[in-house]
Structure 1
């Protein structure tokens, strides 16, 4: 089997993107240690079929070196997304936000805290604080390593790789834990329309997060799609077309209600 190398972090697909379009905006966020490469193709497909304005920012500390990520906190990641949201709000009548993995968590977090700014939110394999004990315990080791192995490219397809860090600063895992759990606590405040997409097989985020989100939010309009052919980075996996179709329909329902 031919080994597929991870694309370089400075590759064009890994850079922030803006697909200019109409008055409905979509903020599409990548995941932890990753880059916009992981969501770009799906975002472009949504743009081409809806005409929406779609932005994919690069979260703070990402796309450069793991050492840069180590100098950031969960507040920096959220601020990156909120700055992009403000740009969309300046140019669009309504904005839908969503993302993959930690990008989905950040989208849920913002939608819960800023309901007037968000028309709808979509979560693709988002985490809201359901962790196995063996994942949490090492976060409290005082003499643990500064870096741990990366978690990228959890993809069922053999011909695709995710552009992401191969090492994770251990201190940022603590910030990720804080952000996901804080977001889980905020879910009852979320009343926007909600689309949840979750892989049945996910080696990074427990699939039970999907039902936890659905049962915890205050929204009355919840749609759930289970992904049977993809792993965690589903936007680069076998179900990328299904995801694009579901997000397109979700965005179009926003456009029709505008």
Structure 2
């Protein structure tokens, strides 16, 4: 199945500091590629995988679930660990949830976490009916391109496959119980006006993690896909500053700054 334009995974070999960037549910690497590019241009080693079932057509996602998506980012984390002395995990929406689970599960292997509009719950009147409805209806309308910026477009599916949505819901419930295991420094950026993931999800994440070094930043001019929106540059700059503050100077010193 051919990939949608912009859905290709991305890797950049840089210095000793590695960054894993995770895209969202029904989205693709395109939605967070400028974030990955920004960090790569500054000499960091960056990995942005394409999650299984994403980047082609929504029917391909029907046969995947959270175990597939998580296994992909878990693999990439260990690839980065083999090559880098320190690794940070970043993610948008479901990508943020995946990043938080990596942090919860892998402790010292993750040096810090950056999440943008992280998902904590599947919302909407149909969420509770998913266990049954997914057997009757294959998909519902899509959630892509919630962007305030005029002309902003996210490469993602125009339908949400309900088997996958049910799996995602189960994943978020499990992750919520694991959030207290997150102890790493955390930078959480969220949009007060988000039509996909409400601010309550970010508040829940902040309330549940055990991290002592926590920074919260509001993205006042952006909707859900803030990495392609008016506040994108703020996200990129804050991420790089966060990594720069936490990474050892020896590791950062190996990175050519562009």
TM-score normalized by structure 2?
Answer: 0.92
Aligned residue for 1:10, secondary structure, equals coil
1:34 aligns with 2:27: yes
Go from structure 1 to structure 2 and tell me whether the alpha carbon gap of 1:176 and 1:182 turns closer, same or farther (over 3 Å shift).
same
- Give yes or no for contact 1:130–1:206 (8 Å, CA) kept in 2: no
For residue 9 of structure 1, report the CA deviation from its aligned partner: 4.4
1 CA distance for matches of 2:143 and 2:3?
16
Go from structure 1 to structure 2 and tell me whether the alpha carbon gap of 1:172 and 1:141 turns closer, same or farther (over 3 Å shift).
same
Match of 1:204 in 2: 196
2 CA distance for matches of 1:29 and 1:159?
23
Aligned residue for 1:14, secondary structure, equals coil
Go from structure 1 to structure 2 and tell me whether the alpha carbon gap of 1:130 and 1:64 turns closer, same or farther (over 3 Å shift).
closer
1 CA distance for matches of 2:49 and 2:131?
31
Match of 1:5 in 2: none
Residue 166 of structure 1, aligned match among 158, 161, 170: 158
Aligned residue for 1:128, secondary structure, equals coil
Match of 1:3 in 2: none
For residue 168 of structure 1, report the CA deviation from its aligned partner: 1.6
- Give yes or no for contact 1:27–1:85 (8 Å, CA) kept in 2: yes
Summarize the alignment of residues 37-48 of structure 1 with structure 2, pairs less than 5 Å apart. Answer: 37-48=30-41
- Give yes or no for contact 2:4–2:155 (8 Å, CA) kept in 1: no
For residue 137 of structure 1, report the CA deviation from its aligned partner: 2.8
- Give yes or no for contact 1:66–1:165 (8 Å, CA) kept in 2: yes
Return 5+ residue gaps in structure 1 as ranges: 1-7
Residue 242 of structure 1, aligned match among 234, 240, 256: 234
Go from structure 1 to structure 2 and tell me whether the alpha carbon gap of 1:162 and 1:130 turns closer, same or farther (over 3 Å shift).
closer
Match of 2:215 in 1: 223
2 CA distance for matches of 1:140 and 1:78?
21
Return 5+ residue gaps in structure 2 as ranges: 252-258
For residue 97 of structure 1, report the CA deviation from its aligned partner: 0.3
Summarize the alignment of residues 114-193 of structure 1 with structure 2, pairs less than 5 Å apart. Answer: 114-129=106-121, 131-132=123-124, 134-142=125-133, 144-193=136-185
1:108 aligns with 2:94: no
Superposed CA RMSD = 1.5
Runs of 4 or more above 3 Å deviation: 140-144
Match of 1:10 in 2: 4
For residue 182 of structure 1, report the CA deviation from its aligned partner: 1.1
For residue 30 of structure 1, report the CA deviation from its aligned partner: 0.4
1 CA distance for matches of 2:8 and 2:146?
21
Aligned residue for 1:141, secondary structure, equals helix
Residue 83 of structure 1, aligned match among 63, 75, 78: 75
- Deviation readout 1:164-216 (Å, 9 max, x if unpaired): 11112111111111111211110101101111010110101111122211111
Match of 1:64 in 2: 56
1 CA distance for matches of 2:3 and 2:148?
22
TM-score normalized by structure 1?
Answer: 0.92
- Give yes or no for contact 1:9–1:164 (8 Å, CA) kept in 2: no
